[in-house]
Amino acid sequence: MSYYEATLLEEHVQIALDELERASGLSIEVITELVEYGVFQPQGERPHEWRFAARCIAVGRTARRLGADFELSTPGVALALSLIERIEELEREVRALQAQALRG
Amino acid sequence: MKYKDYYKILGVDRTASEDVIKKAYRKLARKYHPDVSKEKNAEEQFKEVQEAYEVLKDADKRKAYDQMGFYQPGQEFNPPPGWDQQFHSGGAGGFQDLGDVDLFDLLSGLGGGGFRGARQGGGGRAFRMPGQDYEVTAHISVEDAARGTELEIPIAATEVTEGGQLRRTTRAVKVRIPKGVTDGQRLRVPGKGGPGIGGAPDGDLYVDIQLRPHDIFRVNGHDLYLELPVAPWEAALGAEVQVPTLDGRISVKVPPGSRAGQKLRVRGKGLPKPGSGEGDLYAVLQVVTPSVLSEREKQLYRELQAASSFNPRGHFE
């Protein structure tokens, strides 16, 4: 039996709008709104030219879960996502400081 | 089949109104939602809460659930005679053995567009439902993250049998993790989630990477940190010391006049990055003193004390 390749959801891998729609479970309308709110920042001018970082799949899936589980509107989802992103940044900083600090 | 007490999970009475159930769900969702919660086992807790809410918010499913009877959580049971005719119409011969069936799977098959509809395929409107996405956490070593690794990931899934019944199964999916992953990253294996129904696409498998703690290295992104203990004279006079890396030992120069907490950077000796490049290795100096001193060592320290004008607490004055 062969192994299946797992791909990293990172910045350097790019995906098109229909792939993001399929993988995140968000509708094109909601994705477009989230682009307007700056949650997703695709390269390209028009929707059919948009290229998203693969990381957007993970963000999109979180958006779908938050929207469905808390019955949030898209602006509410955008706000929650930006707060989650800030928390993740702070957690990264804490981890960096912990890694540098000497063990007690 | 094992009983689950959905009312108890939501912390409401059996007579609770829809509104009370909704409020209880919202409160628990805020507490346990894995995207926002730091609670222990948030994900499992939330799944239970979500499952309970899915059943109790739907009048038909709630009725079907209530009519199964009340048991202790985890207790093996079968629905009373006649239950399946009433709620699960069309089953060939009813349920013989529900040992493998999950209560929630059984209840979620009720109502419009259940699994039975999916199997009718040809005639009328075909029912399509994309496969479920699965999410698992893989705990791997720092060495495996650096080299890439192959994992067999066990996945618990629900299958529809030939007879149209639901069964819990566990299967292993073999997944190749590329080198360059690090703690907290997520990978996607397209099409390895649950099977789609009626020609709809299969779900995806998502793998969250968690690095197991390492005896020597701490990981920050793609950088590695290690504590580098040095003797007071090595810190004062400088030294060349051996330091472990993920691919063997290397020599590192400790400059003269080093202090505890200073970091020495070894470029490119961290974890490899996806695509290209590597993180760095940081050796954090720790000045350690011997806990037992010989007479001769004590004597030399006394001589140093007498000869030195160094005042480490000068800034207190």
What digits encode the pLDDT tens for the residues A66-96? Answer: 999 999 999 999 999 999 989 988 988 888 8
Helix (H) or strand (E) holding B107: helix B103-108
Helices and strands in chain B: count of H runs, count of E runs: 10, 11
Alpha carbon distance B220, B206 (integer Å): 22
Residue B267 has pLDDT above 80, yes or no: yes
What digits encode the pLDDT tens for the residues B176-197? Answer: 999 989 988 899 998 898 888 7
**Chain A residue with the nearest C-alpha to that of B200:** A22
The pLDDT > 70 percentage for chain B reads 88
Within a 13 Å sphere around the CA of B8, how many CA atoms are in the beta-carbon half?
A: 8
Q: Which residue has better confidence, A5 or A43?
A: A43
Residue B122 has pLDDT above 70, yes or no: no
Residue A51 has pLDDT above 50, yes or no: yes
CB contacts < 8 Å between A and B, how many?
92
What digits encode the pLDDT tens for the residues B67-109? Answer: 988 888 888 888 888 887 777 654 444 555 566 678 888 887 7
Query: Nearest CA to CA, how far is A63 from chain B (Å)?
Result: 9
What digits encode the pLDDT tens for the residues B127-185? Answer: 677 788 888 889 999 999 999 999 999 887 777 676 766 677 888 899 999 998 998 88
Q: Give chain A's mean pLDDT.
A: 89
Do the Cβ atoms of A102 and B227 come within 8 Å? yes
Tokens of B237: 């006079």
The pair phi, psi for residue B228, each rounded to 5°, is: -115, 100
Helix (H) or strand (E) holding B225: strand B223-230
Alpha carbon distance B223, B267 (integer Å): 10
Interface check A104 vs B, CB under 8 A: no
Residues of chain A neighbouring B187 (CB-CB closer than 8 A): 6-9
Tokens of B233: 């004279």
Alpha carbon distance B305, B310 (integer Å): 9
